[in-house]
Amino acid sequence: MQLLFRVLLLVFGHAIMAIGIAFSLASDLGTTPISALPAVSSLISGLSVGTTTILVNVVLVVLQILIMRRDYAPIQLFQLALLLYFGPFIDAAVWALDQIGVGYSNYFQQWLLTIAGILVVGVGVTMQVRAKLFVLPGEGIAQALSYALHRRFGAEPQFEFGRMKIVTDSTQVLVALVLALTFLGGFIGVREGTIAAALCVGWVVTACNKVFPPKTPPHTKEATTED
């Protein structure tokens, strides 16, 4: 029963994240951090966003392995399989918001949609991490970094998952910005909403963990199927 609950928590968390991403897309203030690099890479290479999403996430998994080294649990490669249903979740959420008429008529309303997206994505990220099964590679890299730094320097608060999420999201957005400026000649696919999400989603996760403290600090090594 505990394993079933964790699986449901994981899937529901991903569904919540998909809704948050749909809100961000509806705002037209830029893609979310986890989709910024795939979107820009797609424009540069001519490949589909789906293809570049897979490629970017493979790179993130490789980085996790390099960071964790011997502590990396091979079962975490299942992160890549999660993309098979997460993409359709996003498509369904975008369709649902469109059907109920979610949109904007001014810049202020665009920011309201962006803020809603940030809050909802943050809650979804918290849920998938709490499941302690598998997370998407975008969160997996933050978990790996948090685990490695905690092991090296101790349980310092600056290395907790929420703050590492800010670091990894911001890094992906920065790389996307550099690529867009270099190859596309402008801030294409990345706008102020993307930067706001990169800086704030991690803080939402941190706030959720303070309001509902986890029993143990989440990190990749513990995120295995113990049941």
pLDDT above 90: residue 49 = no
Residue 161: per-residue pLDDT: 85
CA distance 55 to 112: 32
Residue range 216-227: mean pLDDT, rounded: 45
The two counts, helices (H) then strands (E), for the chain are: 8, 0
Asked whether 66 and 51 are in contact (CB, 8 A), the reply is: no
CA distance 54 to 60: 10
- Range of weakest confidence among 99-103, 165-169, 212-216: 212-216
Which comes out higher in pLDDT, residue 144 or 50? 144
Q: What is the pTM of this model?
A: 0.78
Residue range 176-202: mean pLDDT, rounded: 89
**Per-residue pLDDT tens digits for 141-163:** 999 999 999 888 877 777 888 88
